[in-house]
Structure 1
Amino acid sequence: MNPQLPTPTPSFEISDVVMADGSAAASLVSLHAGGLVASVLPYGAALVSFEAPDRAGHLANCVVTLADPGDLADPALNPHLGGIVGPYANRIAGAAFDLDGVHVRLEANEGPNTLHSGSATWDRRRWDIASMSADATSAQLSLTLIDADGSGGFPGRVEVTATYVLHEDGTLTLNVEYTCDRPTVVAPTSHTYWNLGAAGTVAGQRLTLRADTVLELGAGQIPTGAALPVAGSAWDLRDDVRLRDRLGLDALADTGGYDHTYLVGGACGSDLSVVAMLVDPASGRSLEMRTNQPAVHLYTGNHLGGQPGPLGPIPQHGGVCLEAGQVPNGPNLTAIDGPDGPIPVDVTIRPGETRRWVTSWRLGFEASPAQVPPG
């Protein structure tokens, strides 16, 4: 049975956070609905807390963050915790791509490649609060960001609106809409680290990821352009896998755990499909994730370790990211070579278009991955 919690009318509240970079205080906005609390910091449009009860009714934060939210402004302490990464999440080979006959050079920040759009990434920028509201069924927050032409090397002025909505049924939805004034490439993600146990590592948690194929990696973790079947491999997570049973496998030794992109079959603008379920048997909490995106990058916090968390240093594998989005190195690909033929890749947006990245996370209790409904 689910814990019986008071469910007051949805609401929001604001508190100030002093930022470590010496900039003006930021407004932390907490959304309340259905007995849950989701808190968002305009710095990075970062989800810094999603509090939910365990089977005994004890509230705890299921999102990995720093002890002081203001420290998120320190890149040395913040490995993209909870923020919206953009304009292009994950890696771009050679920190360059060609678009409409023009060779575009980007900031290289991981060897010769670009990772998470370089130092100008959206999750290291302060967003503006556009609106806050609450009604009988939900509370919501909208934030806006303008990415200038040439920021990080990316062409075009991109206007972005991110809206978090917390519903009474325990679902948090994030809708990111974006437009541009010049052809460019845009593929954002939410880089939230989940830990349903609210402490320690995620090794004892169980993951179901509905994906039949995973991208093959080459040098520098850049995809080769091929998608491989997961059946019978360490990458097969389709049936309730305890992470502890996989993280130490030799097949994952090069990356220290999962740091791989799965194709989940969504398409921008389509209805949300269930792609993943995370369950913590110890607390009884479960997380169901839906998205309209074609890929999910699974990252098991392999490089976490020592950051100051609310309960002490965050350990390696202290959180798991399920980064919905497009494929890494998409600007340099026209298609993925899949087992059943080519899978088109389209990450270019042009003036007059509005694109939507949508993902929802529903926190529940004592659910089983077998209950994941058909997509």
Structure 2
Amino acid sequence: MNTPSVPRVARSRFGVLPDGSEVERVVLQCDGGLEARIITYGASLQALLVPDVAGRRDDIVLGHDAFEGYLARRQFFGATVGRYANRIAGARFVLDGTEVQLAANNGPNALHGGLEGFDRRNWRIAGIEDGDRPAVTLAYTSANGEEGYPGALDVEVTWRLTGPMELSLDMTARADRPTVVNLTNHSFFNLAGACSGRNILDHHLTVAADHFLAIDAGAIPLSEPPSAVDGTPFDFRTGVEIGSRIRDDHPQLRVGRGYDHNFCLAPPRGEPRFAARLAAPTSGRVLELFTNQPGLQVYSGNFLDGSTAGKGGRLYRQSDAICLEPQAWPDTPNRPNFPTARLSPGEVYRHTTLYRFTHALHGAIGTQSAVELPGESGR
């Protein structure tokens, strides 16, 4: 007699929008203890439970315990961001000779999709898969002209547990006319635990990039070529404690109030490749990030100011978490020398990111060799 398999997927109501529509949560679990909780609002990663070196599970992403927190204030906790993540200068660009005017929501610029981006939409559940690789697929159709972007865009996001300690994120999009697309996930990671009371300044960060984009006061890339990380606080090629240089007197740390910059990764080759490694000495948790995207926005939680109460009633403050956001480079539609974000009819936008978790003993957290870097081809 066969023993019935234990369900690895659970689906329930998480909240209700003002119009009465239901926000659902889907929980994915695997034998290794990894557990991902995804809500339909913003196709967001609401919680991610990961065992530490001693086997204790903690939630390692910032957010809210109840839906009301997500609705009350827009802070992108765990959200799918689009139609264009990051900033577009002047909230405008020219596509095929026609000027496109977007909604400006970050001074004169467009940020993270505009006034009501993908993070503020209630996605529909398009499919759920149980078994050894449990998954949920969420879908959203962005209408032609939404936030000013041309073309109707059909988007699907699939969260899947691809191994005992691995979470994958696959995003696809198709358009009915030429447009631009740049999607990312905006999770705030703290590998000590979201309710640990610790910040991420003692985390060690590795980034596989030897160039980054310097920015102006509006966080728009300067017109100069990408800047070399060598000899700067932006050199994370061999793993550095985040807090060791975040307060150095460097003009780019002043203008960003910390790290809030795009790191230029190696050109995509189809399959995800190593982009970053984050390690916490207190928990022994190690996150390795692989992606097929050309850039990685590193954001050290600079604008968390203690005005938001999150999980466990904790007030979120500066450097309580770090975001590692694979994406196209900011302002790409206005920069012909940047990797393109254009999507034409008949093409499929594909974004894949893998979050792979391991453990390291305290003494081994900071001992790493150099990683493979993009070199000049990363420009």
TM-score norm. by structure 2 comes to 0.90
* 8 Å contact kept, 2:216–2:255: no
Paired with 1:266 and 1:80, the residues of 2 have a C-alpha distance of 27
Paired with 1:177 and 1:346, the residues of 2 have a C-alpha distance of 16
Instruction: Please name the residue that 1:363 is paired with.
Output: 357
Correspondence list, 1:288-327, <5 A: 288-306=288-306, 307-311=308-312, 312-327=314-329
Paired with 2:24 and 2:177, the residues of 1 have a C-alpha distance of 32
TM-score norm. by structure 1 comes to 0.91
Instruction: Please name the residue that 1:35 is paired with.
Output: 33
Instruction: Please name the residue that 1:348 is paired with.
Output: 342
Structure 1 residues 219 and 85, CA gap change in structure 2 (3 angstroms): same
Unaligned runs of 5+ in 2: 374-379
Question: What amino acid does structure 1 have at the position aligned with 2:166?
Answer: T
Query: What CA deviation, in whole Å up to 9, does each residue of 1:140-194 have, x standing for no partner?
Result: 0001000000000000000001001112331100000000001000011111111
Paired with 2:16 and 2:258, the residues of 1 have a C-alpha distance of 32
Query: How many angstroms does 1:374 deviate by?
Result: 5.0
Question: What amino acid does structure 2 have at the position aligned with 1:125?
Answer: R
More strand by share: 1
Identity %: 34
Correspondence list, 1:1-375, <5 A: 11-19=8-16, 21=18, 23-33=20-30, 34-74=32-72, 76=73, 78-135=74-131, 137-198=132-193, 199=196, 200-225=198-223, 226-251=225-250, 252-267=253-268, 270-306=270-306, 307-311=308-312, 312-336=314-338, 345-366=339-360, 368=365, 370=368
Question: What amino acid does structure 1 have at the position aligned with 2:301?
Answer: G
Question: What amino acid does structure 2 have at the position aligned with 1:195?
Answer: N
Which segments of structure 1 move beyond 3 Å, counting only runs of 4 or more? 19-23, 371-375
Paired with 1:318 and 1:69, the residues of 2 have a C-alpha distance of 21
* 8 Å contact kept, 1:278–1:288: yes
Paired with 1:316 and 1:22, the residues of 2 have a C-alpha distance of 34
* 8 Å contact kept, 2:208–2:372: no
Question: What amino acid does structure 1 have at the position aligned with 2:254?
Answer: A
Query: How many angstroms does 1:362 deviate by?
Result: 0.9
Query: What CA deviation, in whole Å up to 9, does each residue of 1:72-111 have, x standing for no partner?
Result: 122x2x3111111001000000110000111110011111
SS at match of 2:357: strand
Query: How many angstroms does 1:69 deviate by?
Result: 3.4
Query: What CA deviation, in whole Å up to 9, does each residue of 1:220-244 have, x standing for no partner?
Result: 1111242011001011111111111
SS at match of 1:63: coil
Query: How many angstroms does 1:318 deviate by?
Result: 1.1
Bigger shift: residues 116-125 or 281-290: 116-125
Structure 1 residues 183 and 166, CA gap change in structure 2 (3 angstroms): same
Query: How many angstroms does 1:21 deviate by?
Result: 4.2
Paired with 2:322 and 2:52, the residues of 1 have a C-alpha distance of 19
